[in-house]
C-alpha cells in the first residue's frame, strides 16, 4: 500500500493540491508559428514552450500528461530524425516506467491463430531475420493546430512526425509462427500503456491482415541503430510504413489474430476520416462504414525547412529553398518550387533516396531580380500522381493536413 508521501511524489502533488491555489506558471520561450501556414490557436502558442523530458532534447510541449511533445523545425533539415529529438505522443497517461527488456514478454495469439506463443526480447531479436526500413512515423493529427477553423485535440504544429531507420522482425514472420488461420481478418495490437480510469477504453488498434503481412511491417526493436527511446515504445513497437502513427503501437505486449472486425473505441470511433474526401489508395475495408473509414496511409506532403516568414534575401543573388517531402509509401516523384506565389513552378533537385517510406530532401535555387515581396511555396507529388492540396480539406478530427505552405519573404 503506497503511503500518502509516495503518492504525492508520484503525482507531483498534483491532484491532492486542489484545495490550494495552483502555483504560478514559469517564464517560457515562445516557439513561433510554423511559416507559411495558418497560425496555431493563441492558447497553444502560449502553452507550447520548449521542454526536455527524460532522455529527450528540448521539444515543443503540447501537453504534459499524457506527454505530447513535438519535434522543432530545425531537426527536419536532415532525412533522419535523431532519437532524442523524435516526437512523443500518448493518448492516455497510464504509461509504464522504464520497462526491463529481460522481463518483457510479447504474446502472440488470438482466435485466428492456431499456435499461440510468447516471445522474450532475446527471442524477438534472434529467432527471426532482422530487417531494416527507413520510414516516416507521422501522427494522424500532425498540423491539427493549423486547421482554420481550429479543431479540438492536441494542437500540433508541423513536428508531430519523424523519420528513422527501424530494425526489427517482420510481423509476417512472427505471425507465421503463430499459425495464422484462413479466417484471420485483422491483427489486433496492444501496448503496455493504458488508461487512468478503469472505464476509459484502453488504447488498442488493429490493422488488416494484408497490411500486417506486408514485408515492410515490423516488430521493431531498434531505431537509428539504437534501442527505442522509452517515449517511442521501448522495448519494441509496431512499425507500419506508409500508414499514420496511430497504428505503430508502442511498448507492444500482445498481437492477436482475429476473424471479426476489432471492436474498440480507438478503431470504431476515433481515427476516422470521411469517405471519399482524400485521394488515398489503401482502405481498411473491414472497418469501413458508409460515411467514414479508418485513416490509413499518409497523404503526400512537404515541409520547407530553411526559410522564415519575413526573411530578407538579397537581389541578384541565388537563395536556396530547402526541405523534405514524404507520402504514404508510393515514393516522392517530384517537388515543385514557386517563388512567385504559385504562378510559376520549377522542379527541385531531390536528395538521396532512402526508400519510398522515407523523407526525401529537396532543394532549388532562385535569384530574385528585383526588390519586393515574394511568396515561396513547395508542392510535392508522389509516384501515384497525388499532390498536395492548396485548400485545406476539412474533416472533424483534423487529420491529413497537407496544405502547400506560402511563405512571404522580401528581396532587398
Instruction: Name the strand (E) or helix (H) holding 121.
Output: helix 121-126
Interface with another protein (CB under 8 A), residue total 57
From candidates 29, 54, 291, 372, binder to another protein by CB under 8 A:
54
Q: How far is the CB of 48 from another protein (least distance, A)?
A: 7
| Exposed e or buried b per residue across 39-78, where buried means at least 16 C-beta atoms within 10 angstroms of its C-beta | ebbeebbebbbbbeeeebbbbbbbeeebbbbbbbbebbee
Outline where DSSP puts E strands in 246-286: 252-258, 272-274
From candidates 29, 149, 182, 369, binder to another protein by CB under 8 A:
149
Q: How far is the CB of 66 from another protein (least distance, A)?
A: 7
From candidates 50, 51, 172, 286, binder to another protein by CB under 8 A:
51
Residue 2 or 129 with smaller CB distance to another protein: 2
Grid cell of 177 as nine digits: 509462427
Residue 24 or 29 with smaller CB distance to another protein: 24
Q: x/- site string to another protein, residues 3 to 32, per CB under 8 A? A: ---xx--xxx-xxxxx--xxxxxx------
From candidates 114, 196, 390, 412, binder to another protein by CB under 8 A:
196
Q: Rounded to the nearest 5°, which phi and psi values hold at 133? A: -145, 135
From candidates 57, 93, 350, 375, binder to another protein by CB under 8 A:
93
Residue 158 or 218 with smaller CB distance to another protein: 158
> In this chain, which stretch among 193-201, 321-329, 370-378, 380-388 interacts with another protein, using CB under 8 A?
193-201
From candidates 41, 227, 274, 355, binder to another protein by CB under 8 A:
41
Residue 109 or 195 with smaller CB distance to another protein: 195
> In this chain, which stretch among 54-62, 104-112, 157-165, 240-248 interacts with another protein, using CB under 8 A?
54-62
d(CA 20, CA 394) in angstroms, rounded, equals 42
From candidates 84, 107, 150, 383, binder to another protein by CB under 8 A:
150
d(CA 170, CA 187) in angstroms, rounded, equals 14
Using CB under 8 A as the binding rule, the residues of this chain from 198 to 227 that contact another protein are 198-201
Instruction: Order the strands of the 50-51 sheet from edge to edge.
Output: 50-51, 59-63, 68-70, 88-89
d(CA 254, CA 251) in angstroms, rounded, equals 9
Q: How far is the CB of 27 from another protein (least distance, A)?
A: 12
From candidates 67, 157, 329, 398, binder to another protein by CB under 8 A:
67
Q: How far is the CB of 116 from another protein (least distance, A)?
A: 26
Sign, CA torsion 56/61/62/66:
positive
First-to-last alpha carbon distance for the chain, in angstroms, is 69
Q: Which residues pair with 188 in a beta bridge?
A: 206, 256
Q: Is 263 in the site for another protein (CB under 8 A)?
A: no
Q: Are 192 and 14 in contact (CB under 8 A)?
A: no
Residue 69 or 366 with smaller CB distance to another protein: 69
d(CA 319, CA 69) in angstroms, rounded, equals 32
Q: How far is the CB of 100 from another protein (least distance, A)?
A: 12
Residue 264 CA: distances (Å) to CA of 4, 139, 207, 221: 35, 19, 12, 26
Sign, CA torsion 280/267/96/253:
negative
Q: How far is the CB of 113 from another protein (least distance, A)?
A: 28
Residues lying near another protein in the complex (CB under 8 A) are found at 2, 6-7, 10-12, 14-18, 21-26, 41-44, 46-48, 51, 53-54, 61-67, 69, 92-97, 149-150, 152-155, 194-201, 265, 269
Amino acid at each position: 500500500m503506497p503511503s500518502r508521501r509516495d503518492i504525492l511524489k508520484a503525482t507531483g502533488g498534483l491532484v491532492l493540491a486542489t484545495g490550494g491555489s495552483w502555483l504560478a506558471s514559469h517564464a517560457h520561450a515562445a516557439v513561433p508559428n510554423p511559416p507559411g501556414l495558418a497560425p496555431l490557436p493563441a492558447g497553444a502558442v502560449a502553452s507550447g514552450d520548449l521542454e526536455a523530458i527524460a532522455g529527450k532534447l528540448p521539444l515543443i510541449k503540447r501537453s504534459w500528461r499524457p506527454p505530447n511533445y513535438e519535434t522543432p523545425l530545425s531537426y527536419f533539415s536532415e532525412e533522419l530524425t535523431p532519437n532524442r529529438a523524435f516526437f512523443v505522443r500518448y493518448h492516455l497517461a497510464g504509461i509504464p516506467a522504464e520497462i526491463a527488456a529481460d522481463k518483457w514478454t510479447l504474446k502472440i495469439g488470438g482466435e485466428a491463430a492456431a499456435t499461440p506463443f510468447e516471445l522474450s526480447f532475446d527471442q524477438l531479436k534472434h529467432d527471426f531475420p532482422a530487417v531494416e526500413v527507413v520510414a516516416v512515423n507521422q501522427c494522424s493529427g500532425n498540423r491539427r493546430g493549423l486547421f482554420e477553423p481550429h479543431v479540438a485535440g492536441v494542437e500540433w504544429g508541423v513536428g508531430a512526425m519523424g523519420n528513422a531507420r527501424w530494425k526489427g522482425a517482420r510481423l509476417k514472420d512472427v505471425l507465421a509462427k503463430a499459425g495464422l488461420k484462413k479466417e484471420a481478418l485483422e491483427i489486433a495490437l496492444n501496448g503496455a500503456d493504458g488508461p487512468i480510469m478503469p472505464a476509459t477504453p484502453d488504447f488498442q488498434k488493429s490493422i488488416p491482415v494484408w497490411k500486417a503481412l506486408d514485408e515492410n511491417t515490423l516488430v521493431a526493436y531498434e531505431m537509428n541503430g539504437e534501442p527505442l527511446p522509452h517515449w517511442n515504445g521501448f522495448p519494441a513497437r509496431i512499425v507500419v510504413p506508409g500508414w499514420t502513427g496511430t497504428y505503430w503501437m508502442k511498448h507492444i505486449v500482445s498481437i492477436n489474430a482475429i476473424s471479426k472486425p476489432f471492436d474498440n473505441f480507438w478503431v470504431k470511433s476515433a481515427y476516422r476520416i470521411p469517405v471519399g474526401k482524400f485521394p488515398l489508395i489503401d482502405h481498411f475495408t473491414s472497418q469501413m462504414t458508409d460515411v467514414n473509414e479508418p485513416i490509413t496511409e499518409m497523404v503526400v506532403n512537404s515541409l520547407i525547412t530553411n526559410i522564415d516568414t519575413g526573411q530578407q534575401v538579397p537581389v541578384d543573388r541565388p537563395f536556396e529553398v530547402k526541405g523534405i517531402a514524404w507520402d504514404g509509401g508510393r515514393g516522392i516523384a517530384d517537388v515543385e518550387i514557386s517563388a512567385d506565389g504559385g504562378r510559376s513552378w520549377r522542379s527541385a533537385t531531390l536528395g538521396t533516396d532512402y526508400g519510398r517510406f522515407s523523407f526525401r530532401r529537396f532543394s532549388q535555387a532562385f535569384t530574385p531580380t528585383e526588390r519586393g515581396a515574394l511568396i515561396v511555396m513547395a508542392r510535392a507529388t508522389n509516384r501515384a500522381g497525388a499532390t498536395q492540396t492548396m485548400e485545406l480539406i476539412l474533416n472533424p478530427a483534423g487529420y491529413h493536413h497537407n496544405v502547400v505552405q506560402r511563405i512571404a519573404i522580401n528581396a532587398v
